[in-house]
Amino acid sequence: MKINFILDPLANLKIQKDTSLAMMREANKRGHELFVSMQHDVFLRDNLARIRAQKFNFTPEGFVLEPGLEAQPSAFDAIIMRKDPPFNNEYLYSTYLLEIAVAQGAKVYNNPVALRGWNEKLSVARFPQFSPEFIVTASHQLIREFLTRHQDIIVKPLDGMGGSNIFRLTLNDPNISVILESITQHGSHTIMAQRYLPAIAQGDKRIIVIDGTPLPYALARIPLAGETRGNLAAGGTGTAQRLSERDYEIADTVGKTLKQEGLFLVGLDVIGEYLTEINVTSPTGMVEIAAQTDCNPASIWMSALEHHHL
């Protein structure tokens, strides 16, 4: 297979820990050809989608890139969209271009229409039986009313990643006004507020779902002492653990819908008994799970992708 990965700049990737590179190593081990593109390498010339790409080869020291080429996206057996958020207008435009590419024969994972339609924070509203109480608004008054009702809440932007700009608010916090002004940009940006879940102390569990099926292990990202965010990017410690019955109930139920939507690789975030986020853009955690268990997520992902192309 010829597989093209749409990534963030390669200089930003951590060679030993990055999930995209783990996926690429597995593909390389199986003899597939690898190519890489950046977000703006996808473009439209008249009515035809085009993509610029460079062939990618691993070396003992890291990797090398061959000179670039231009092709129809359908020239690749699979295009793997792994560009990180923020999900801004440029990301939105990329989904439009990739949607056109799909209509012209390209196979894109995850489905660009679903990438556009499944906001990583808002999508928990599709599964109210699993989500904690929340409110989505730009109104300070409504957020304060929500805080009064629940006493202890988390506020977060709808387009971020890695725990950025996430705040915990309690009724006696002297910084409520400035935090709300900052995160909503004075009431002009919509955010999500969720009831604070004390189970975060035991970890924010990342459950990887591949082609609708959850892996048997989650990566519990345990916050630093005094921290409310478990994200590894925010200093959390990742500990692999088997799915609980509740974890599996959530992941299996959600996974069936994800598969129908063409969401091939997804990371669910579960705190305690509750689903808090559905990460569809560039979910991580494969390397840590592989290092701590007998489960190889990249191998499972690659086998599922190969099955799609039988």
* Residues with catalytic roles: 121, 156, 206, 221, 229, 269, 277, 279
User: Tokens standing for 101?
Assistant: 């590419």
DSSP H helical ranges for the chain: 19-29, 89-103, 112-117, 140-150, 176-183, 245-260, 286-292, 297-308
DSSP states of 160-179: --TTTT-EEEETT-TTHHHH
In this structure, how many other beta carbons lie within 10 angstroms of the beta carbon of residue 85? Answer: 17
Calpha distance 268→259 (Å, rounded): 14
Main-chain phi, psi angles of 260, to 5 degrees: -60, -30
CA distances from 97 to 40, 69, 111, 173 (A): 10, 18, 12, 45
Calpha distance 206→223 (Å, rounded): 13
Which residues, 6 or more positions from 150, have their beta carbon under 8 angstroms from its beta carbon? 133, 195, 196
Is residue 36 a contact partner of residue 7, using CB atoms and an 8 Å limit?
Answer: yes
Is residue 155 a contact partner of residue 193, using CB atoms and an 8 Å limit?
Answer: yes
Q: What is the dihedral of CA 20, 26, 30, 32, to 10 degrees?
A: 10
Calpha distance 175→41 (Å, rounded): 43
In this structure, how many other beta carbons lie within 10 angstroms of the beta carbon of residue 99? Answer: 18
